[in-house]
A and B are shown apart, each in its own frame.
Chain A
Amino acid sequence: MPDAATPDIAPLAVTAADLHLPTQPFSAAGLHLELVPAQARYSLRARDAGLLAATIGRALPDRIGDTLDGVIKLGPDEWLALLPAGATLPLGEGLPVSVVDVSARAVGFTITGPGAAALIATGCPLDVERMAPGRATRTLFETVEIVLWRQSETAFRVDCWRSFAPWLWAALVAGAQG
């Protein structure tokens, strides 16, 4: 029994000093986690989707949650483009569109393997099992906002803002270790 003078408080399992971006992939039974290499990201906003598509010279998915050639439709007037590193889009100066380079804002992880959906479900309140391959959405992992993209039955990609990424990686690894 701990007494009042020396309360029995367990040390935190993870401290800030333990949190950093991974330099190595992580593998466990049925799971493989990996940092996505640096790439170009654009935040796209427009009321007129046709004008935006013409401005950037790419087709855009119509339905919220759909993806098309690396572009995710996040909201009624909002898309996120995930493009190869160094890719640039026309910014549409003077037009009623918003094309903003946010490449360095987020960090991405891939989660692959038969246990991928179960690992996402350790922290995500969505019904991940019912998410169809090819669908993507903004949601939460614990309290961290993420963009979750189901790339196949057994492959997910998660993007989050950079400052949350070391914690998210630690949380995913902890979940993968069971």
Chain B
Amino acid sequence: MLLIHCPYCAEARPEVEFAYGGQAHIARPLDPSALSDADWEQYLYIRNNPRGRHHERWRHAHGCGRFFNAVRDTVTDKFEVTYPAGEAAR
């Protein structure tokens, strides 16, 4: 089982306490109705699929309950860093 460091609990905790939340740092457009269909599609559906570093959201669902962001390597499954939601991408 992976151990994931929760930036709020400040502890490494077992993976089963966490829920994956998809790619991180996707800002909702401030005025959706002003977007073209292509731009709206881009926002809604188009995600990175990197081999290597991936910025993603996780939630400590069965712990402190908080969403946070992580950089995980999709090849090794190793978490490089986790940090509170709202901070700049690492």
**Chain A residues packing against B (C-beta within 8 Å):** 64-65, 74-76, 78, 125-126, 137-140, 145
Contact = CB atoms under 8 A, between A and B. Distances in A.
Interface of A is mostly: strand
Interface residues of B, number: 14
Contact of A75 (B1, B14, B16, B65): B65
Interface in B1-38: 1, 8-11, 13-14, 16-17
Given A125-B1, A125-B14, A145-B62, 12 more contacts: A64-B64, A65-B11, A74-B65, A75-B64, A75-B65, A75-B66, A78-B65, A125-B16, A125-B17, A137-B9, A137-B63, A140-B62
Contacts of A78: 64-65
A132 to B, nearest CB: 12
Nearest to B10: A64
Nearest to B15: A125
Interface of B: 1, 8-11, 13-14, 16-17, 62-66
Given A76-B64, A78-B64, A140 B9 contact: no
A74 B64 contact: yes
28 contacts: A64-B9, A64-B10, A64-B64, A65-B11, A74-B64, A74-B65, A75-B8, A75-B63, A75-B65, A75-B66, A76-B64, A76-B66, A78-B64, A78-B65, A125-B14, A125-B17, A137-B9, A137-B63, A138-B64, A138-B65, A139-B13, A139-B17, A139-B62, A139-B63, A140-B16, A140-B17, A140-B62, A145-B62
